Amino acid sequence: MDQSRIRNFSIIAHIDHGKSTLADRILELTHAVSKRDMRAQVLDSMDLERERGITIKAQAVRVTWKGNELNLIDTPGHVDFTYEVSRSLQACEGAVLVVDAAQGTEAQTLANAYLAIENNLEIVPVVNKIDLPQADPDGAASEVAELIGDTPEHVLRISAKTGQGVPDLLDAIVERIPRPAGDPDAPARALIFDSSYDQYRGVVAFVRVIDGVFRPRERLRAMAMGTRFEAQEIGFMAPAMSPVDALTAGEVGYVITGLKDVSELRVGDTLTTETGGAAEPLPGYKDVKPMVFAGLFPTDSDQYPELRDALERLKLNDAALFYEPETSQALGFGFRSGFLGLLHMEIVRERLEREFDLDLLVTAPNVAYRVLERNGEWREVHSPADMPNEFDEVEEPYVKASIIVPKGYVGQVMELNNDRRGKFDHMEYLSPERVHLTYELPLGEIVLDYYDQLKSRTRGYASFDYDYIGFRPGTLVRVDVLVAGEPVDALSLIIHREFAYDRGRALVEQLKKEIPRQMFDVAIQAAIGARVIARETVKARRKDVLAKCYGGDITRKRKLLENQKKGKKRMKQVGAVEVPQEAFLAVLNIGDGKK
C-alpha cells in the first residue's frame, strides 16, 4: 500500500469513556466485522478486561475507509502500562482523544494525552456520548480544546453507541493525521509494540514497520535482546489474522516467531532482517522494571505447584510479570512477585484466582527499595523481610501524581498528600470548576490505601494517575511484628521513621482484633530492631468446651469438633499461635491509624 493512503492511530480514553464502543463502531462502519458477527467490544479479548473495562494488551486492527488503510492500534488504558502505552503511541502518527461529554477530562486521559503530545502525535479530539441526557458537549469540548491547545470548534461530537458522527471522525482521521514517513527502501526496521503467546504458534509480535519490507520465511533479529528467529508467518488483523506476503514501511501487522518465551521479545525492541539489516535500532527501548511487590502464597500449601505452574503460564503472555520463590516462616512456600503497579497486581491476582482456580493469600504490597549496604554495594530489596537491619543509605521510588478534582476538594487532596510525604508541584484550573494538581509522592505512600483515601475524601470525584520519576533517598526504617515473641516475617513493613511509631501502634491494635484468643496470652509487639515501639496482648481464653455430650449427640459434637479442627487448619501457625490468614493483611486495614 502506498504510504500516503495509510493512517495509523490509537484511541485514548479514560475507562468507561467509550473507547471500546468506538472501536466496535469503526469496525462495523468499515465492514471489518458484520453487525451479525459483532461480539460487542471485539478488541478486548480477555473476559477480565471486558469486565473491568480495561484493555490490557494492545492489538492492532486494519480497516479500510474510502480507499485508505486505517490501522487502529489499541492501547492499555492505565498508568501501570505507561511504557506499553508509549510504545503503542510510537507506532502511530495520530491519536483520537475521547472524552465523555458528561464526565469531562480525567487524570488518566490527561496522562495519556500528554504522552501522545510528547510523541508528536496529531490529536483528533472527540466528545463522546452526546446522546446522553446529562451530556454537556460544549463544556467538555472547551475543556479538551484548552487541554491540547486547540479550538472548541475543532472538537468532533459523536455518539459511539448510536454511530452518530463516527463517519465524520473517520474522515477527520484521514484528513488530519499525517501519513507515515518511513523509507520503504531502507534496511527493514519494525517497532514491537506488543506481543502475545499462542499455545500452538509461540510468541506473536505486533509490529509497526518503520522502514523497508518484511517477508515471511526471512531470518529476523530483535536488536536489543539479540533474539534471532525465522518469521513463520506475517500478516495483519482484520480483526482475524490475515497472512500477507509483505509488510512494508508504514504498515502495521503481526509476525509469528515460533519463539517459546515472551521475554525473548520485549515491547519496544526493534526487529530487523538478519541479512542486510539496519545498523541502528529505533529509539526509546526500555527494560521495564516492576516497582510494586507482594508475596503470593497459596491458602492451602498443597497448591504451591499449581501456583508455580499458573505463574509460568501467565508469564508467557506478560513479560512485565516478575516472580521468584519466597519462603515465609509464617506463610510457607510462595512467590515474591513484582508488578508494574497496583492495577497490574490486581489483574494478575484475579487471573490466578479465576483462570487457575487458586485460593491465594496476597501480602500487603510494598515497593522496591535500593539499599547501600555496609560493604558499599547497592542492592535492590523487594520485601521488607529482606531489608538488612543495618545499612548506610536507602532509596525509594517516587512518582509524579496527577490529580483532577472539583475545586471544592483541593484542600482535602492537599491534606492527604501532605500526610503522605507529598511535595507540591503544580496546580492549574482546567475549567472554572476543575483543578489539576500535581505532586511528587513516594510510591510507598500510594501502594496501600492512597486511592481509597483519595476517593473517600473527595466523595469519589477525584481522578488520579501517576508516573515514575525515579529513586530518591528516604529516612526509612523496618518495623517488625512479633507475635508471642516470634518475629512474623510476612508482617514486617518499611516505613518513614516519622510514621513508624503511629503505624506500629495501629498495626498491633489491628492485629489484636484479627488474632483470635488462644489458649494462652499472646503478646503482639511492633519493634524497630530490638526496640519495642508498641505492644498489645490478646488475653487467653478461659473456656472452650462443648457443654454437654451424651449418647444422643456424640455425632453432632464430633462434627462440631471436626469443624473447629478445620477452622484451625485454615490458620497459619506462628510458633504456638494460630493466626488467621486475614491477619496477614492487617497492614491494609490501618489506613486511618496514621494521622
Partner 1 sequence: MSGVRHLYVHLPFCAHRCGYCDFVTVVGRPGEHDAYVDALLSELELEAGLLDGELDTIFLGGGTPTFTEKGALERLLAALPPAREVTVEANPETVTPELAALLSRNRVNRVSLGAQSFNTALLDVLERRASGDDVRRAVDALRNAGFDNINLDLIYGIPGQGAADLERDLAEALTLEPEHLSCYELEAKPGTRFTHAHGAELERQAEAMEEYFERVVEQLTAAGYRWYETANFCRASGEADARDLRAHHNLAYWEGRGYLGLGIGAVSTVGGRRWRNTPRLAVYVAALRDGVVPARELETIDEGTRVREQVMLGLRLDEPLALAGLEGALDDAALRRLTGLGLVRHDERTIALTRRGRFLGGGVTADLLT
186 binds partner 1 (CB under 8 A): no
Q: What is the CA radius of gyration of the chain?
A: 27
What distances in angstroms separate CA 573 from CA 33, 106, 186, 363, 576, one per listed residue?
Answer: 56, 46, 65, 16, 6
Helix axes 450-457, 410-419, angle to 10 degrees: 150
Binding residues for partner 1, how many (CB under 8 A)?
Answer: 24
Task: Using the minimum distance from each CB to partner 1, give the nearer residue, 181 or 576.
Answer: 576
376 binds partner 1 (CB under 8 A): no
542 binds partner 1 (CB under 8 A): yes
547 binds partner 1 (CB under 8 A): yes
Single out the residue of 425, 557, 585, 591 in contact with partner 1 (rule: CB under 8 A). Answer: 557
548 binds partner 1 (CB under 8 A): yes
Q: What is the largest CA-CA distance in the chain?
A: 93
571 binds partner 1 (CB under 8 A): no
545 binds partner 1 (CB under 8 A): yes
Across 20-48, b (16+ Cβ under 10 Å) vs e yields bbbbbbbbbbbebbeeeeeeebbbbebee
Shortest gap between Cβ of 488 and partner 1 (angstroms)? 18
Kindly report the length of the chain.
Answer: 595
541 binds partner 1 (CB under 8 A): yes
Shortest gap between Cβ of 524 and partner 1 (angstroms)? 18
Strand locations in 343-475 (E)? 360-362, 366-367, 369-372, 378-381, 393-406, 423-429, 434-442, 463-473
Rounded to whole angstroms, the Cα distance separating 374 from 352 reads 39
Shortest gap between Cβ of 559 and partner 1 (angstroms)? 11
Single out the residue of 389, 408, 546, 570 in contact with partner 1 (rule: CB under 8 A). Answer: 546
Shortest gap between Cβ of 540 and partner 1 (angstroms)? 9
Shortest gap between Cβ of 573 and partner 1 (angstroms)? 9
Helix axes 82-90, 107-118, angle to 10 degrees: 40
Helix, strand or coil, per DSSP, at residue 350? helix
302 binds partner 1 (CB under 8 A): no
Task: Using the minimum distance from each CB to partner 1, give the nearer residue, 378 or 520.
Answer: 520
Single out the residue of 36, 555, 592, 595 in contact with partner 1 (rule: CB under 8 A). Answer: 555
Binding mask 501-540 for partner 1 (x = CB under 8 A): ------------------xx--------------------
Applying CB under 8 A, the span of 107-115, 260-268, 488-496, 546-554 interacting with partner 1 comes to 546-554
Task: Using the minimum distance from each CB to partner 1, give the nearer residue, 246 or 561.
Answer: 561
Across 372-409, b (16+ Cβ under 10 Å) vs e yields eeeeeeeeebbbbbbbeeebeebbbbbbbbbbbbeeeb
Strand locations in 308-372 (E)? 322-328, 332-339, 360-362, 366-367, 369-372
Residues in region 68-127 near partner 1 by CB under 8 A: none
Residue ranges binding partner 1 (CB under 8 A): 519-520, 541-555, 557-558, 561, 564-565, 568, 576
